Structure 1
Protein backbone atom coordinates (compact mmCIF):
# COMPACT_ATOMS: atom_id res chain seq x y z
CA UNK A 1 0.00 0.00 0.00
CA UNK A 2 1.46 3.40 -0.93
CA UNK A 3 1.56 6.34 1.46
CA UNK A 4 -0.62 8.62 -0.69
CA UNK A 5 -3.63 6.28 -0.85
CA UNK A 6 -5.86 5.62 2.12
CA UNK A 7 -8.35 2.90 2.86
CA UNK A 8 -11.29 2.80 5.21
CA UNK A 9 -9.08 1.43 7.99
CA UNK A 10 -6.46 4.20 7.66
CA UNK A 11 -8.66 7.17 8.59
CA UNK A 12 -11.76 7.72 10.66
CA UNK A 13 -14.67 9.64 9.18
CA UNK A 14 -17.85 9.90 11.25
CA UNK A 15 -20.94 9.21 9.23
CA UNK A 16 -24.10 9.58 11.35
CA UNK A 17 -26.19 6.44 11.44
CA UNK A 18 -23.50 4.22 9.91
CA UNK A 19 -22.11 1.29 11.88
CA UNK A 20 -18.65 -0.25 11.58
CA UNK A 21 -19.87 -2.65 8.90
CA UNK A 22 -21.16 0.15 6.69
CA UNK A 23 -24.86 -0.56 7.27
CA UNK A 24 -27.00 2.45 8.04
CA UNK A 25 -28.16 2.03 11.65
CA UNK A 26 -27.53 -1.69 11.27
CA UNK A 27 -30.57 -2.16 9.03
CA UNK A 28 -28.87 -2.50 5.68
CA UNK A 29 -30.73 0.55 4.34
CA UNK A 30 -29.68 3.99 3.26
CA UNK A 31 -29.71 7.28 5.19
CA UNK A 32 -33.15 8.03 3.75
CA UNK A 33 -34.62 5.09 5.68
CA UNK A 34 -33.90 6.74 9.03
CA UNK A 35 -36.85 8.75 10.30
CA UNK A 36 -36.03 11.00 13.22
CA UNK A 37 -39.05 12.49 14.95
CA UNK A 38 -41.56 10.88 12.61
CA UNK A 39 -44.47 11.98 14.78
CA UNK A 40 -43.49 15.67 14.69
CA UNK A 41 -45.25 17.88 12.12
CA UNK A 42 -43.26 19.25 9.22
CA UNK A 43 -42.21 22.88 9.69
CA UNK A 44 -44.23 25.16 7.46
CA UNK A 45 -41.93 28.18 7.43
CA UNK A 46 -42.41 31.47 9.21
CA UNK A 47 -46.16 31.30 9.62
CA UNK A 48 -48.38 34.34 9.83
CA UNK A 49 -46.66 35.85 12.88
CA UNK A 50 -43.22 35.43 11.37
CA UNK A 51 -44.18 37.27 8.19
CA UNK A 52 -45.75 40.07 10.24
CA UNK A 53 -42.43 40.36 12.11
CA UNK A 54 -40.53 40.49 8.80
CA UNK A 55 -42.87 43.23 7.57
CA UNK A 56 -42.39 45.28 10.74
CA UNK A 57 -38.59 44.90 10.48
CA UNK A 58 -38.76 46.18 6.90
CA UNK A 59 -40.98 49.05 7.96
CA UNK A 60 -38.74 50.01 10.90
CA UNK A 61 -35.41 49.73 9.10
CA UNK A 62 -36.29 50.83 5.55
CA UNK A 63 -39.59 52.68 5.19
CA UNK A 64 -39.61 54.99 8.22
CA UNK A 65 -35.91 56.03 8.01
CA UNK A 66 -36.28 56.43 4.25
CA UNK A 67 -39.29 58.70 4.71
CA UNK A 68 -37.40 60.81 7.25
CA UNK A 69 -34.39 61.02 4.93
CA UNK A 70 -36.34 61.81 1.75
CA UNK A 71 -38.93 64.16 3.29
CA UNK A 72 -37.31 65.74 6.37
CA UNK A 73 -40.06 68.33 6.64
CA UNK A 74 -42.71 65.63 7.13
CA UNK A 75 -42.88 66.03 10.96
CA UNK A 76 -43.15 69.82 10.58
CA UNK A 77 -46.04 69.36 8.15
CA UNK A 78 -47.75 67.21 10.79
CA UNK A 79 -47.35 70.04 13.32
CA UNK A 80 -44.59 68.50 15.46
CA UNK A 81 -41.77 70.74 16.66
CA UNK A 82 -38.28 69.68 15.54
CA UNK A 83 -37.03 68.44 18.92
CA UNK A 84 -40.18 66.39 19.58
CA UNK A 85 -40.01 64.88 16.11
CA UNK A 86 -36.36 63.83 16.55
CA UNK A 87 -37.24 62.16 19.86
CA UNK A 88 -40.50 60.53 18.79
CA UNK A 89 -39.60 59.32 15.30
CA UNK A 90 -36.91 56.84 16.41
CA UNK A 91 -38.96 55.77 19.43
CA UNK A 92 -42.08 54.74 17.52
CA UNK A 93 -40.42 52.15 15.24
CA UNK A 94 -38.37 50.82 18.16
CA UNK A 95 -41.49 50.40 20.27
CA UNK A 96 -43.40 48.79 17.40
CA UNK A 97 -40.55 46.40 16.63
CA UNK A 98 -40.17 45.42 20.27
CA UNK A 99 -43.86 44.75 20.76
CA UNK A 100 -44.21 42.68 17.59
CA UNK A 101 -41.04 40.71 18.39
CA UNK A 102 -42.30 39.82 21.86
CA UNK A 103 -45.75 38.98 20.48
CA UNK A 104 -44.36 36.63 17.82
CA UNK A 105 -41.88 35.01 20.21
CA UNK A 106 -44.46 34.28 22.89
CA UNK A 107 -46.65 32.68 20.24
CA UNK A 108 -43.71 30.61 19.00
CA UNK A 109 -42.93 29.29 22.46
CA UNK A 110 -46.57 28.37 23.07
CA UNK A 111 -46.68 26.45 19.80
CA UNK A 112 -49.14 28.75 18.03
CA UNK A 113 -48.47 29.60 14.40
Structure 2
Protein backbone atom coordinates (compact mmCIF):
# COMPACT_ATOMS: atom_id res chain seq x y z
CA UNK A 1 0.00 0.00 0.00
CA UNK A 2 1.48 3.33 -0.96
CA UNK A 3 1.28 6.51 1.09
CA UNK A 4 -0.87 8.12 -1.61
CA UNK A 5 -3.77 5.74 -0.99
CA UNK A 6 -3.65 6.00 2.80
CA UNK A 7 -5.65 8.86 4.19
CA UNK A 8 -4.71 10.77 7.33
CA UNK A 9 -7.61 9.22 9.27
CA UNK A 10 -6.38 5.67 8.60
CA UNK A 11 -3.02 6.15 10.31
CA UNK A 12 -2.37 6.39 14.03
CA UNK A 13 0.12 8.85 15.41
CA UNK A 14 0.54 9.19 19.16
CA UNK A 15 0.89 12.78 20.26
CA UNK A 16 1.56 13.09 24.01
CA UNK A 17 -0.91 15.37 25.71
CA UNK A 18 -3.56 15.01 23.02
CA UNK A 19 -6.35 12.60 23.85
CA UNK A 20 -10.06 12.49 23.25
CA UNK A 21 -10.56 9.87 25.97
CA UNK A 22 -11.92 11.46 29.14
CA UNK A 23 -11.67 14.96 27.75
CA UNK A 24 -14.57 16.19 29.88
CA UNK A 25 -13.26 14.63 33.11
CA UNK A 26 -11.41 16.88 35.58
CA UNK A 27 -7.74 16.30 36.23
CA UNK A 28 -7.00 14.43 39.47
CA UNK A 29 -5.83 16.77 42.22
CA UNK A 30 -4.17 14.25 44.52
CA UNK A 31 -5.46 12.51 47.61
CA UNK A 32 -7.81 15.20 48.84
CA UNK A 33 -8.99 15.35 52.42
CA UNK A 34 -10.61 11.91 52.37
CA UNK A 35 -7.47 10.30 50.99
CA UNK A 36 -5.32 11.85 53.70
CA UNK A 37 -7.86 10.75 56.32
CA UNK A 38 -7.50 7.21 54.96
CA UNK A 39 -3.71 7.47 55.19
CA UNK A 40 -4.07 8.61 58.81
CA UNK A 41 -6.32 5.65 59.64
CA UNK A 42 -3.85 3.25 57.99
CA UNK A 43 -1.01 4.72 60.08
CA UNK A 44 -3.15 4.44 63.20
CA UNK A 45 -4.10 0.83 62.46
CA UNK A 46 -0.67 -0.41 61.44
CA UNK A 47 1.61 1.67 63.69
CA UNK A 48 -0.12 3.21 66.71
CA UNK A 49 -2.45 0.44 67.88
CA UNK A 50 0.05 -2.44 67.47
CA UNK A 51 2.76 -0.26 68.99
CA UNK A 52 0.58 0.47 72.01
CA UNK A 53 -0.18 -3.24 72.46
CA UNK A 54 3.52 -4.08 72.14
CA UNK A 55 4.79 -1.35 74.48
CA UNK A 56 2.05 -1.54 77.12
CA UNK A 57 0.51 -5.04 76.97
CA UNK A 58 -1.15 -4.58 80.38
CA UNK A 59 -3.17 -1.59 79.16
CA UNK A 60 -6.35 -3.62 78.48
CA UNK A 61 -6.05 -5.24 81.92
CA UNK A 62 -5.87 -1.78 83.47
CA UNK A 63 -9.13 -0.98 81.69
CA UNK A 64 -10.73 -4.07 83.23
CA UNK A 65 -10.66 -6.39 80.21
CA UNK A 66 -9.42 -9.96 80.60
CA UNK A 67 -6.21 -10.61 78.66
CA UNK A 68 -7.65 -13.20 76.25
CA UNK A 69 -10.72 -11.09 75.44
CA UNK A 70 -8.54 -8.02 74.94
CA UNK A 71 -6.18 -9.81 72.55
CA UNK A 72 -9.17 -11.04 70.53
CA UNK A 73 -11.03 -7.71 70.48
CA UNK A 74 -8.13 -5.28 70.03
CA UNK A 75 -7.34 -6.30 66.43
CA UNK A 76 -11.02 -6.00 65.55
CA UNK A 77 -11.18 -2.28 66.42
CA UNK A 78 -8.55 -1.15 63.86
CA UNK A 79 -9.97 -3.56 61.28
CA UNK A 80 -13.46 -2.08 61.57
CA UNK A 81 -12.06 1.45 61.60
CA UNK A 82 -9.93 0.79 58.50
CA UNK A 83 -12.84 -0.82 56.65
CA UNK A 84 -15.19 2.05 57.45
CA UNK A 85 -12.62 4.66 56.39
CA UNK A 86 -11.94 2.81 53.13
CA UNK A 87 -15.62 2.61 52.24
CA UNK A 88 -16.12 6.27 53.21
CA UNK A 89 -13.25 7.46 51.02
CA UNK A 90 -14.16 5.26 48.04
CA UNK A 91 -17.81 6.31 48.01
CA UNK A 92 -16.64 9.89 47.80
CA UNK A 93 -14.19 9.02 45.01
CA UNK A 94 -16.87 7.32 42.93
CA UNK A 95 -19.25 10.24 43.39
CA UNK A 96 -16.59 12.72 42.35
CA UNK A 97 -16.41 14.53 45.69
CA UNK A 98 -13.12 15.72 47.14
Please tell me the TM-score bracket, short chain as reference.
Answer: 0.7 to 0.9
Distance 2:17 2:67 in 1: 65
Q: Determine the structure 2 residue equivalent to 1:59.
A: 44
Distance 1:98 1:109 in 2: 16
Q: CA deviation at 1:88?
A: 1.1
Structure 1 residues 33 and 84: alpha-carbon distance in aligned structure 2, compared to 1, 3 A threshold: closer
- Root mean square deviation of aligned Cα: 1.9
Matched, 1:73 2:62: no
Of residues 3, 8, 18, the one that matches 1:34 is 18
- Higher RCO structure, 1 or 2 (CA under 8 Å, sep 6+): 2
Of residues 59, 63, 84, the one that matches 2:69 is 84
Q: CA deviation at 1:34?
A: 2.4
Give the 4+ runs in structure 1 shifted more than 6 A.
none
Structure 1 unaligned regions, length at least 5: 1-18, 26-30
Q: Determine the structure 2 residue equivalent to 1:43.
A: 28
TM-score (norm 1): 0.67
Structure 2 unaligned regions, length at least 5: 1-10
Aligned residues: 87
Q: Determine the structure 2 residue equivalent to 1:102.
A: 87
Compare the two structures and name the one with the higher helix fraction: 2
Larger radius of gyration: 1
Q: CA deviation at 1:39?
A: 3.7
